């Protein structure tokens, strides 16, 4: 099966790009983030027309996550204990349990949002205790963390900034220690499979990006291939994130 994670930066604004992309790439399961959409405005019908069931959690202007599946959708959960913002959606999709996450950005060191980010990660880790690391399970989404120095275009530009601190990286590593593997995409242009490029300052054109979107999967998920579709980040009407795609033997 083919699985995808993609921060679409508004599903409403992105629909003219998202729907043709789904038709062309034919993924079985898609984890979406930043739908920026209330549940009653979610484009269920457009997605159903392409064969997808959807579980969405969103309340409007900010955040919002979804799981799309054309291989079954059951055991839906939209809750991360103690955190009311719509940043997590999970479901059983055929043989694979999928969680779509949009981790809080953190904003700045010393900002309360940074502590919120770390607390959110802790809750996500605790939530994993309800699952079996020997079973096929994927946690996918925008982690808002660059795990290694090479995962940003210039680590020197990230002094005293979020996304690269030890605490944030430790929070991701705690997920790995539970039993998840960081499924890195094939190297892209510039040797690092960046998934995000800021809209400003021609960052995409200069390939000044970050690898902050992740597919984390248990060892029970045999990964055949994984890549970033940079084409989806190009041109008019693109999200500032590219989709991370993987083919798995399930």
Residues near DNA (CB under 7 A) are 9-10, 12-14, 36, 38, 60-62, 104-105, 107, 113, 157-158, 161, 198-203, 208, 237
Output the known binding site for Mg(2+): 7, 34, 142, 144, 240-241
Nearer to DNA, 74 or 161 (CB): 161
Least distance between DNA and beta carbon 2 (Å): 25
Nearer to DNA, 115 or 198 (CB): 198
**Of 4, 2, 8, residue with least CA distance to 196:** 8
Nearer to DNA, 68 or 164 (CB): 164
Least distance between DNA and beta carbon 34 (Å): 7
In the residue annotation, 83 being an active-site residue is answered as: no
Output the known binding site: 7, 34, 142, 144, 240-241
CA dist 53 to 47, 56, 92, 94, 210, Å? 7, 10, 12, 12, 31
Catalytic site residue from 28, 52, 56, 142:
142
In the residue annotation, 214 being an active-site residue is answered as: no
Helix axes 166-178, 112-128, angle to 10 degrees: 10
> Which residues are annotated as catalytic?
102, 142, 241
């Amino acid at each position: 099966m083919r699985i995808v994670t993609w921060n679409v930066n508004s599903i409403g604004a992105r629909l003219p790009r998202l729907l043709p992309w789904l038709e062309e790439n034919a993924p079985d399961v898609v984890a979406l983030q930043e739908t920026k959409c209330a549940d009653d405005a979610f484009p269920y019908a457009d997605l159903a027309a392409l064969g997808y069931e959807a579980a969405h959690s969103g309340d409007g202007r900010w955040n919002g996550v979804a799981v799309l599946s054309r291989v079954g959708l059951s055991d839906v959960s939209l809750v991360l204990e103690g955190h009311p913002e719509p940043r997590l959606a999970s479901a059983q999709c055929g043989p694979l349990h999928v969680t779509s996450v949009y981790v809080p950005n953190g904003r700045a060191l010393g900002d309360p949002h940074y502590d919120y980010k770390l607390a959110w990660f802790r809750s996500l880790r605790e939530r994993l205790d309800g699952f079996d690391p020997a079973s096929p399970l994927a946690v996918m989404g925008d982690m808002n963390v660059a795990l290694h120095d090479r995962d940003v275009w210039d680590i020197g530009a990230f002094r005293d900034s979020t996304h690269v601190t030890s605490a944030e990286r430790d929070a991701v590593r705690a997920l790995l220690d539970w039993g998840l593997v960081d499924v890195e995409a094939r190297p892209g242009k510039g040797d690092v499979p960046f998934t995000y490029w800021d809209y400003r300052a021609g960052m995409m054109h200069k390939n000044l990006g970050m690898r902050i979107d992740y597919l984390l999967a248990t060892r029970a998920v045999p990964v055949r291939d994984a890549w970033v579709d940079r084409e989806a980040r190009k041109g008019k009407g693109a999200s500032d994130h590219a989709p991370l795609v993987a083919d798995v033997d399930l």
